[in-house]
Structure 1
Amino acid sequence: MNIGTNVPRIVISAPHGQSGKTTVTIGLIGALVNRGLTVQPFKKGPDFIDPSWLSRVSGRFCRNLDCFLMDDETIRDSVFQAGRNADIAVIEGAMGMFDGLDLDGSGSTAQIAKIIKAPVVLVVNCSRMTRSVAPLVKGFKDFDPQV
């Protein structure tokens, strides 16, 4: 039951966990809501703590997306069904963008972004870094051209 792909959407990811994804996602959702937009939040994986924060700031129930428990069509349908009455869907990733169940990155945040054809915002903790952030970000940009 693919209902279409006209829901504006964005994925928030990072090179690794503890990078500030949740803080950035909460801030982004809060800013969008303060501008009068309706935001449908999602969280990658079986997490229940982050979704409670995302639900609170958005005023909408946060849904989980899990490549291990859901096939591609179910993930797409979940995003496009839940997001159909929202101005934008914001999906917070988990761990590092390409970290998944195996060396191919199955179940990763990158896989979710590819399934729903969403652009990704990379949150990078730049503490104790200057120019070194450039090759790090370039590596993420070039690693998988489908993301």
Structure 2
Amino acid sequence: MIVDRPRVVFSALRGNSGKTFVTVGVGACLTLRGKAVSPFKKGPDYIDAAWLEMATGHPCYNLDLFLMGREGMLSSFITRVQHADGALVEGNRGLYDGMDREGSYSTAELAKLLQAPVIMVVDCSMATRTIAATILGCQLFDPEVAIKGVILNRIGGPRHEAVIRTAIEDRCGVPVLGALPRIQEIIFPERHMGLVPPREHPEARRAIEEAARIVDAHIDVDKVWEIAREAPAVDFDVLDRQHEELHIRPSKQPKIGFIRDSAFWFYYPDNLEVLEKMGASLVAC
């Protein structure tokens, strides 16, 4: 299966660095510019995926190497991105954080499997040149991970940005694609599970519009897309599960009802699509 679509992975040094805000904002900006963007979330997270889906207008699929395996994950990704102009993938936690000391199932491992460039979103609170040292460390930690750009978050002012930008571009050899200021307004409120889901946010659409406005004003979205276009065409050695023949011929089409409301909405699109492919008629209640 050949993939020749633009694709990029957004990662960070740790959680709560602003990955979701940036990915949602970039996805919304590209959608407003007429791009059909297929969003993905690394890992089993439902909530970030829901925001990405609303921002792009397309279902967000989870990419989980642990749950899906290499072939299942690649097949799901390839099937969806083939029908889009490109893909945005939001990582989780830190770039190299995985299940064990080897970083199994990490965002870095996913990026290498997808042969996708990585853009780092970095919380710059109370630091300057050390940010460049940390990015350089990520580059040297695994040279096979293609870190192609950095987005600075929570910048205190022009001098703060200038020092970090110069240090990164001089020492790391990658461009700084933008610098987000410290935002006083809580656009995406959080709770113990992470972000408040869009279904529970009374002004979810306005929040996405505001994220898009801020991202468009402070990040070079065109350069982000240019980096995504640098992803090579790859012939992955996996089966095309989407067009695989299923030898199931039910005498009757079973009707399966499932609840979808503010309390029950944690569903993986992959699972619902498999049920339909096997002949079921799904009814959302």
Give the TM bin, normalised by the shorter chain.
Answer: over 0.9
The amino acid that maps onto 2:82 is R
1:39-58 equivalence runs, <5 A:
39-58=37-56
Q: Distance in 2 between matches of 1:89 and 1:80?
A: 10
Unpaired segments ≥5 residues, structure 1:
none
1:3-82 equivalence runs, <5 A:
3-82=1-80
Q: Distance in 2 between matches of 1:4 and 1:74?
A: 15
Q: What TM-score comes out, normalization by structure 2 length? A: 0.50
For this pair of structures, how many residues does the alignment match? 145
* Displacement over 3 Å in runs of 4+: none
Show the counterpart of 1:92. 90
Unpaired segments ≥5 residues, structure 2:
146-285
Q: Distance in 1 between matches of 2:137 and 2:27?
A: 27
The amino acid that maps onto 1:140 is C
Higher strand share: 2
The amino acid that maps onto 2:6 is P
The amino acid that maps onto 2:50 is S
Structure having greater relative contact order (Cα 8 Å, sep ≥ 6): 1
Q: Distance in 1 between matches of 2:14 and 2:91?
A: 10
Measure how far apart 1:79 and its partner are.
Answer: 1.3
The amino acid that maps onto 2:97 is D
Measure how far apart 1:42 and its partner are.
Answer: 0.3
Aligned residues with identical type, % of pairs: 48
Asked whether the equivalents of residues 3 and 82 of structure 2 are also in contact (C-alpha less than 8 Å), the reply is: no
The amino acid that maps onto 1:78 is S
Greater gyration radius: 2
| Higher mean C-alpha deviation, range 105-114 or range 70-79 | 70-79
**CA-based RMSD:** 0.8
Q: What TM-score comes out, normalization by structure 1 length? A: 0.96
Q: Distance in 2 between matches of 1:39 and 1:69?
A: 24
Which of 104, 108, 113 is equivalent to 1:115? Answer: 113
